[in-house]
Amino acid sequence: MLFAAFLVLTLIIVGPAFAEIEIGISATIDPAVANDPNAVLEPIPGFHLAYQWWGIFYATWDSMVLPPDRVNELSGYLRPGFLNMFDAGIRIRLGPIIGFVTAGMNNIYVYRQAELTDFNPEFGANLRAGAGLKFGSAGVNLSVTSLFASFERLARTLQSLAGTPAEQNAAIETLTSGLIPAVGVTLYF
């Protein structure tokens, strides 16, 4: 949280010269539930804050509420929580069409984690890609996120894309098996 506060203050001080600030909300469907035809699909809410400068560079902070079963998969604790993702990448705009690709780190907050004496929240890594439409000072977008336990795991997966066909297939499976889709509504300043 301290990093996020520092990032926001820095962006405010730098000013809007050749820059754009985004604030938005998102809804995500848990991929494990989305593949179950008998499941009730409940959207998971999220928050989005981003800064784009010089028309291409892009830094984001996205946070989403996680249900207890998803937190259990990531941390081993059956409690609700938040997933925070801090990313950097590029965002390109062609008329009303926006596309972006980012990579960064993620961290999970488990509800009442101070009570968990053996819980050590480590930073993981993530890749995100998305596209959207901008209408004046508002827009909508779709994105997908792939989570990794560490930067080392992310690097190994990306290196495997240039390996043997079996390694390539395993890397593609790793990248796509846990994709988290999201729909967002964004305001641009």
Lowest mean pLDDT among 38-47, 110-119, 121-130: 38-47
At residue 138, the pLDDT reads 97
**CA-CA distances (angstroms) from residue 187 to 87, 97, 181?**
19, 15, 20
The sign of the dihedral angle between the CA atoms of 122, 180, 81, 21 is positive
The dihedral of CA 121, 1, 69, 100: what is its sign? negative
Residue 188, both tokens: 């641009």
Contacting residues for 80 by C-beta, under 8 A, at least 6 apart: 65, 66, 67, 68, 71, 111
Average pLDDT, integer, range 81-107: 96
**pLDDT for 41-62, tens place per residue?**
788 899 999 999 988 999 999 9
pTM for the full model? Answer: 0.82
Residue whose pair of structure tokens reads 């989570």 in the numeric block? 147
Residue 150 pLDDT grade (very low, low, confident, very high; cuts 50, 70, 90):
confident
**Which of 30-44, 119-133, 142-156 shows the lowest mean pLDDT across its residues?**
30-44
In contact, 71 and 110? CB cutoff 8 Å = yes
- Give residue limits of the domains in the chain: 2-142+181-188
Local structure of residue 91 (DSSP, 8 states): E
Mean pLDDT for the chain? 88
β-strand 124-135 against 19-28: which pairing, if any? unpaired
pLDDT score of 15: 54
CATH number 1.10.3720.10 is the correct assignment for the domain at 2-142+181-188? no
| Secondary structure of 100-136 in HEC code, one letter for each residue | EEEEEEEEEEECCHHHCCCCCCCCEEEEEEEEEEEEC
DSSP 3-state of 140: strand
d(CA 139, CA 188): 8
What share of the chain has pLDDT > 90, as a percent?
A: 60
User: What confidence category does residue 133 fall into, taking pLDDT thresholds of 50, 70 and 90?
Assistant: very high
Predicted confidence band of residue 131 (pLDDT cuts 50, 70, 90):
very high
